[in-house]
Amino acid sequence: NASVAVATARASTGRFPLEEVAIAQGVSSVRWPGRLETLAVEPRTLVDAAHNPEAISALRASLEALGLPRPRVLVFGVMADKDWPEMLASLVPLFDHVVLSPVSTARALDPRRAASVIADFRPYDVTESAAEALTVARRRAGRDGAIVVTGSIFLVAELYRDCGGAEEPFDDGPTQ
């Protein structure tokens, strides 16, 4: 999305004079809650609303570059109609433990189905709620580890505040 916005701004400079510094400042000031966002430090807790294999691939590259502390715990909940086996195959190798969570919507995948895909690769827990998944993940990560919540925009929204995010993620406070 950022690349498209930059390309559009550059292509429009004939009609709307924009300097490169203005474009760079605009991109650097963008805030997108729930996208590779750190919400807590002990344990380090990141949320990313990656909900398809392409977004998971981008998340994986970002996580590899970040070098998160260990133990690393993945909290994963997803819609049943997504390519969740591919998503898990990409992410699970980066983590020491996986917590599979339901998501509060009718389209959600039963986390027990996801367990069958990872059972031979990583220790895991299956929880009854997203709140329970976060509690288990915190216990597994300890204070010095890292938690990543992903797989669904709905899951990130459900846990955003509990992970340490604002009550209203897009509200930066009162405007003047």
Q: Which amino acid is at 16?
A: F
Q: Give the pLDDT of residue 171.
A: 57
pTM for the predicted model, two decimal places = 0.82
What is the bridge-based pairing of β-strands 146-150 and 72-76? parallel
- List, in sequence order, every residue forming a beta bridge with 149; answer none if it has no partner: 47, 75
pLDDT digits (tens, 9 = 90+) for 22-35: 888 887 777 667 78
Query: What per-residue confidence (pLDDT) applies to 176?
Result: 42
> What is the model's pLDDT at position 148?
98
How does pLDDT run across 117-157, given as a tens digit for each residue?
Answer: 898 899 999 999 999 999 999 999 999 999 999 999 999 99
